[in-house]
Amino acid sequence: MAVWTDTHCHLDAPEFDADREAVVQRAREAGVGLIVIPAVSPQTFAPARDAAHRFGGAYALGIHPLFVRQVPDDALALLDAALQRWREDPRLVAVGEIGLDHFVPELQDEASRALQERFYAAQLDLAVAHGLPVILHVRRSADGLLKHLRRLRDVGRPVAGGIAHAFNGSAQQAQTFVELGFKLGFGGAMTFERALQIRRLAAELSPEALVLETDAPDIPPHWLYVTAEARARGERSRNEPSELPRIAQTLAGLRGLSLDALRELTTRNALAALPRLAALQASA
């Protein structure tokens, strides 16, 4: 029987430092057998890899758009070197988390947007050079991401697909990602009844487009959500990979599928998006 696959979980994040082993154990007890851990900066390349090896998961290497103003000048060279150094590691499954963020206010000035785009374009080139799919950060930036994916396709150097993480774009944008070989990630945001567009996409997209994720410790489902007022009082919520099966119940309800059928479907889609997962799934 297939296991659940969490295609996006920052298991190396400091929020898990106190109880990482217990977090993984709860995930396993919930039936989550594979966890993909995307790095976000050169500083996290080794921790993401170490967590994947320690807990039987997979990892991706990339520079997140929220970190482009914080990384060293040679960050892209460091990424290239890491991808080369660990190229034979079966747990290295993608370049990611990379992309564009057109939401965070402090990154919306002209210089910051240009820097994000430079890093994104360069990392797509590295993914093509190393023959790896990508894990994309998509926040109000789908058109910009698609522009560069189409550019590479049109010059005969297409990206080997991947996952558009936490997708929340239009149906047309979703379809374009799918046509370019991408799966779309759905997680905690889908569990909110007011997330009408996300839930509509989850219900109506081709079944071959769907993968599941938590983005833990972030994007908590509605049952873990802490209001802004509560956060101001110091309360915090932490998402975990063990929440994935319960998140999946929302998707199963939207699609009219059994949990068993959804687990088989989304695991198959994850393996298609990140082909190196297949060898790991066989031993999960």
**What residue numbers does the annotated binding site for a divalent metal cation cover?**
8, 10, 97, 137, 165, 215
Measure the CA–CA gap between 284 and 278, rounded to whole angstroms: 10
Length of the chain: 284
Residue type, 36: V
10 Å CB burial of residue 210 (0-12, 13-18, 19+) is buried
User: What distance lies between CA 48 and its chain's CA centroid?
Assistant: 13
Query: Which two three-digit tokens encode residue 102?
Result: 């057109």
Please enumerate, by residue number, every residue annotated as part of a binding site. 8, 10, 97, 137, 165, 215
Which residue from 276, 257, 258, 277 is spatially nearest to 267, judged by alpha carbons? 277
Which H, E and C letters describe 48-71, residue by residue?
A: HHHHHHHHCCEEEECCCHHHCCCC
Radius of gyration over every alpha carbon of the chain, rounded to an integer in angstroms: 18
